[in-house]
């Protein structure tokens, strides 16, 4: 094995090793949530995955952005085919391994990839302009300052150079071997000039080849730190996304049972189960959320479509559905890092004498999601589900907001006085208004008279 092949093998081994560790870390963070059974029509879940994740169906509610995104997305998918050849060439020291073996098909495929790459290049310029020059409102919200803004730009810069390296590699090859038949690279090949030596072209080709694969390896390791992890997680997220009717909320069994007992004449004489655990209403931390909620948080693309259609946000309120998902992810990251480095000071008091290993079961750092998400944000939500309707990967911030609000009201007693009046009216009158059902029905009699 030559030096270049050895270096390539070492980089592959290190890159995949580091990536595996980080992806495993993300998986463990997602699994911090509760493990409830997944129910529903599997065929509908598969249909959602194919149409929404693979087919980008919901993206096309905004055609211009969807078209630009499609160029990058399809180019990304087809470039993976070219990577097969790059890996073979890297390990075995060959050059364009498939060219002589599949002939015309090879030329057709590379030309297709080049045209897609040109489209991706144009889309990258457009997206950079939208973020940094036009500064679309959904890209300059408070939660998008700092790392989220940099993250959105970094991947576009990487895409920009990735395309440049692809054309650098192909055009250098085309300059001294026009039989390859690459149309776009063939147009660029003359730019190398007539006096350039074959050795210089080989160096240029190698720079393009190595630049391409190193960006790919960098991207592989960068994904788990970035919102662009949705490239991978969008598929499982849309598969496991809720299938119930839009606007339907998940009931709390404890409340349902209490209401049912009110209609049961024998319930008053039933002996309560003294060994039953004390029920918890709603959620206060990521451990209480379903693991699919945490999957959704890591899948969030931070595109801001949810926030741009949120009526609360549009009227100047603090709520941003995108921020809710980002906060859940940040809290999961915080807990995951503490568990990974075994911060024993966060072992709950009741477990400290039993173990010296920090786990999700004994974790207690005196913080929860309410340290990330304010009451003002939670109370502003109208539960209209516009955010879920707008999300291109079927994320539902409303589900998380409702569960946090339930915990805040039922366990922490943190509800506005106006809401307390409404709750009392519902309990006493069966409606949010301070009128009895008979009084409310009088208008019908008056209307008929």
321-344 residue pLDDT tens: 999 999 999 999 999 999 999 999
Q: Look at residue 190 and tell me if it is in a domain.
A: yes
Rounded to an integer, the average pLDDT of 99-119 is 90
What would the pLDDT profile of 154-179 be if each residue is shown by its tens digit?
Answer: 999 999 999 999 999 999 998 877 77
Confidence band, pLDDT 50/70/90 cuts, at residue 116: very high
pTM across the whole model: 0.90
Residues 226 and 289 in one domain: no
Residue 136 lies in a domain: yes
Is the domain of 222 the same as that of 319?
no
Domain CATH code at residue 390 = 1.10.1060
Does 227 share its domain with 309?
no
Q: What residue has token string 């100047």? A: 316
Residue 185 burial (C-beta neighbours within 10 Å; 0-12, 13-18, 19+): buried
Percent of the chain with pLDDT over 90: 64
- Which tokens is 29 given? 């963070």
* Residues facing 34 on adjacent strands: 290
The answer to whether residue 144 scores a pLDDT higher than 80 is yes
Angle (CA) 187 188 194, round 5° = 105
C-alpha Rg value of the chain to the nearest Å: 28
Cβ atoms of 125 and 159 closer than 8 Å: no
Q: Is residue 54 part of a domain?
A: no
Contacts (Cβ under 8 Å, ≥6 apart) of 400: 283, 289, 293, 324, 325, 328
Question: Residue 258 — pLDDT band, cuts 50, 70, 90?
Answer: confident
Provide the pLDDT confidence category of residue 390 given band limits of 50, 70 and 90. very high
Cα separation, 105 vs 103, whole angstroms: 6
Angle at 392 between CA 388 and CA 396, to 5 degrees: 25
- Predicted confidence (pLDDT) at residue 401 exceeds the cutoff of 80: yes
Place of tokens 């070219």: 82
Number of domains in the chain: 2
Percent of residues in the chain assigned helix, strand, coil, to nearest 5:
70, 0, 30
Residue 57: which residues within 8 A CB-CB, separation 6 or more?
51
- Helix, coil or strand: residue 34: strand
Tell me how far apart the alpha carbons of residues 339 and 351 are, in angstroms, rounded to a whole number. Answer: 15
Looking at per-residue pLDDT, the higher value among 98 and 430 belongs to 98
Alpha-carbon dihedral sign for residues 263, 268, 271, 275: positive
When pLDDT is cut at 50, 70 and 90, the band that residue 267 belongs to is: low
Q: What is the DSSP string of 151-173?
A: HHHHHHHHHHHHHHHHHHHHHHH
Question: Do 310 and 181 belong to one domain?
Answer: no
Q: Is 296 found in the same domain as 223?
A: no
Residue 271 has pLDDT above 80, yes or no: no
Range of the domain at 324: 277-419
Query: Which residues lie closer than 8 Å to 153 by C-beta, 6 or more apart?
Result: 128, 131, 132
Q: DSSP H helical segments within 320-396, as ranges?
A: 321-340, 375-380, 386-390
Residues 290, 164: one domain? no
Higher-pLDDT residue of 260, 187: 187
Q: pLDDT tens digits for 416-441?
A: 888 888 888 887 877 787 777 677 67
């Amino acid at each position: 094995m030559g030096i270049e092949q050895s270096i390539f093998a070492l980089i592959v081994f290190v890159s995949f090793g580091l990536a595996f560790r980080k992806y495993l870390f993300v998986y463990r963070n997602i699994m911090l949530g509760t493990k409830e059974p997944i129910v529903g029509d599997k065929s509908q879940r598969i249909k959602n995955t194919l149409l929404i994740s693979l087919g980008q169906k919901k993206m096309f509610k905004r055609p211009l952005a969807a078209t630009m995104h499609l160029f990058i997305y399809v180019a990304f998918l087809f470039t993976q085919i070219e990577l097969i050849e790059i890996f073979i060439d890297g390990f075995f020291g060959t050059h364009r391994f498939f060219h002589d073996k599949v002939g015309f098909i090879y030329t057709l495929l590379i030309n297709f990839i080049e045209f897609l790459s040109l489209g991706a290049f144009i889309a990258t310029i457009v997206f950079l302009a939208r973020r940094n020059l036009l500064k679309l409102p959904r890209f300059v919200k408070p939660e998008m300052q700092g790392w989220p803004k940099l993250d959105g730009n970094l991947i576009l810069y990487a895409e920009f150079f990735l395309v440049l390296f692809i054309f650098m590699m192909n055009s250098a090859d085309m300059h001294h071997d026009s039989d390859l038949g690459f149309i776009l690279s063939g147009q660029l090949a003359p730019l190398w000039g007539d006096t350039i030596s074959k050795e210089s072209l080989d160096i240029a080709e190698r720079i393009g080849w190595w630049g391409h694969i190193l960006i790919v390896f960098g991207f592989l390791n960068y994904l788990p730190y970035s919102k662009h992890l949705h490239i991978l997680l969008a598929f499982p997220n849309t598969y496991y996304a809720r299938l119930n009717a839009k606007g339907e909320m998940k009931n709390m069994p404890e409340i349902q049972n209490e209401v049912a007992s009110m209609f049961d004449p024998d319930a008053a004489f039933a002996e309560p189960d003294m060994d039953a655990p004390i029920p918890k209403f709603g959620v206060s931390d990521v451990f209480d959320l379903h693991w699919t909620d945490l999957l959704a948080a890591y899948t969030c693309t931070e595109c801001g479509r949810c926030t741009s259609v949120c009526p609360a946000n549009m009227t100047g309120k603090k709520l941003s559905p995108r921020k809710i998902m980002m906060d859940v992810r940040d809290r999961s990251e915080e807990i995951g890092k503490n568990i990974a480095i075994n911060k024993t000071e966060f072992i709950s008091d009741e477990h400290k004498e039993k173990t010296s290993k920090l786990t999700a079961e004994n974790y207690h750092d005196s913080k929860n999601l309410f340290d990330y998400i304010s009451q003002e944000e939670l109370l502003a939500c109208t539960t209209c589900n516009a955010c879920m309707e707008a999300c291109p990967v079927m994320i539902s911030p409303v589900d998380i907001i409702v569960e946090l609000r339930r915990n805040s009201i039922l366990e922490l007693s943190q509800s506005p006085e106006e809401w307390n009046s409404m709750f009392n009216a519902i309990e006493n009158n069966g409606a949010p208004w301070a009128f009895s059902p008979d009084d409310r029905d009088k208008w019908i009699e008056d209307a008929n008279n």
